[in-house]
Amino acid sequence: DTGVSQDPRHKITKRGQNVTFRCDPISEHNRLYWYRQTLGQGPEFLTYFQNEAQLEKSRLLSDRFSAERPKGSFSTLEIQRTEQGDSAMYLCASSLALRGSDNEQFFGPGTRLTVL
């Protein structure tokens, strides 16, 4: 399968715990995005990477959230001291951007986080 993959698919944790999610983009894609989607809403942009550089972060991304893409390939999203309001689907997407313009984003299946 050459699509975007995410791990784990589901995560249940207790409030206050730290969690980390992984995203593996399509191999030749240079841009990687993280979104959050809550029930009945569309995905909300969190952050994106151009290769290994994190170029933009939404104000939705509080200090408890951190994302990395250390070698410009896979990415991790960590949430520290989780809160019940963090319960959501976390979606990763990747795209191939050439000369500043962006092509379509391909989404992974998401990681569903439940904070008890």
Looking at residue 82, its amino acid is T
**Residue 36 binds other proteins (CB under 8 A):** no
d(CA 106, CA 6): 12
**Nearest-approach distance from CB 81 to other proteins, in angstroms:** 27
**Nearest-approach distance from CB 87 to other proteins, in angstroms:** 15
Tell which one of 13, 22, 54, 106 touches other proteins (CB under 8 A): 106
Tell which one of 17, 51, 55, 81 touches other proteins (CB under 8 A): 55
Maximum CA extent, the chain = 44
Residue among 66, 92, 75, 90 at smallest CA distance from 11: 90
Tell which one of 8, 12, 17, 56 touches other proteins (CB under 8 A): 56
Tell which one of 4, 19, 61, 77 touches other proteins (CB under 8 A): 4
- The torsion angles phi and psi of 65, rounded to 5 degrees, stand at -100, 140
Sign (positive or negative) of CA dihedral 107, 21, 17, 53: negative
Q: Beta partners for 23?
A: 6, 75
| Footprint of other proteins (CB under 8 A) | 4, 31, 33, 40-45, 48, 55-56, 91, 93, 97, 100-102, 104-110, 112
